[in-house]
Copies of this chain bind each other. A is one copy, B any other.
């Protein structure tokens, strides 16, 4: 017995699951054996949900977020402020910001960030379409909400330079000490940044109590 798996069908399924991010061979086997115990209908439903998503998925023609419709529900929402556009890396960040209930503008989903190591350049991202959106007018402010990493910073600077020629305010989300964190344990870069970017006390307090 060369392979530890008693069946090549089983081994193939385990290999496929183990390709998913964060799934090792042990969890993969557990997941596969779980599916094997399900009835045919459940497995069919599982498989169909994947196939339908990957084959029928649409992206909003305006903000490029995943959507069921040509224009996503956020872009189509008449109560939202169309003059403010928040630039994010992916749909996960849209969901995270929506959860805060602190933002009432629209989004622009880049589909990634500039990362030379991974071979991702500006042309692989929805940056030209962001410029198009700004150029066509009606946008007052673009908020950059990318990760506070080197790749995020590179992308921020690239976008900032592209948008500088237009009459639009470009802002970036605050970087500082996380709420609930003890100053003693905050890393020095974050702490330094939080001092440089300090906010008038009453203003900060007003924002929180809103």
Report which A residues bind B (CB closer than 8 A): 1, 4-10, 12-13, 15-17, 19-23, 27, 29-36, 38, 40, 42-43, 45-47, 49-58, 60, 65-68, 72-74, 77, 90-92, 94-95, 98-99
- A-B pairs, top 3 by smallest CB distance, nearest first, are A16-B49, A13-B53, A13-B49
**A98–B4 touching, CB < 8 Å:** yes
**B35–A54 touching, CB < 8 Å:** yes
CB A210 to nearest CB in B, in angstroms, measures: 20
Given A31-B21, A34-B21, A45-B16, A57 contacting B7 (CB threshold 8 A): yes
CB A121 to nearest CB in B, in angstroms, measures: 17
**B65–A6 touching, CB < 8 Å:** yes
**B1–A74 touching, CB < 8 Å:** yes
**B43–A9 touching, CB < 8 Å:** no
Which chain B residue shows the least CB distance to A31?
B20
**A22–B15 touching, CB < 8 Å:** no
CB contacts (< 8 Å) of A92 on chain B: these are: 29-30, 33
**B50–A46 touching, CB < 8 Å:** yes
Q: Which of B16, B56, B98 contacts A1 (CB 8 A)?
A: B98
**B1–A57 touching, CB < 8 Å:** no
CB A94 to nearest CB in B, in angstroms, measures: 7
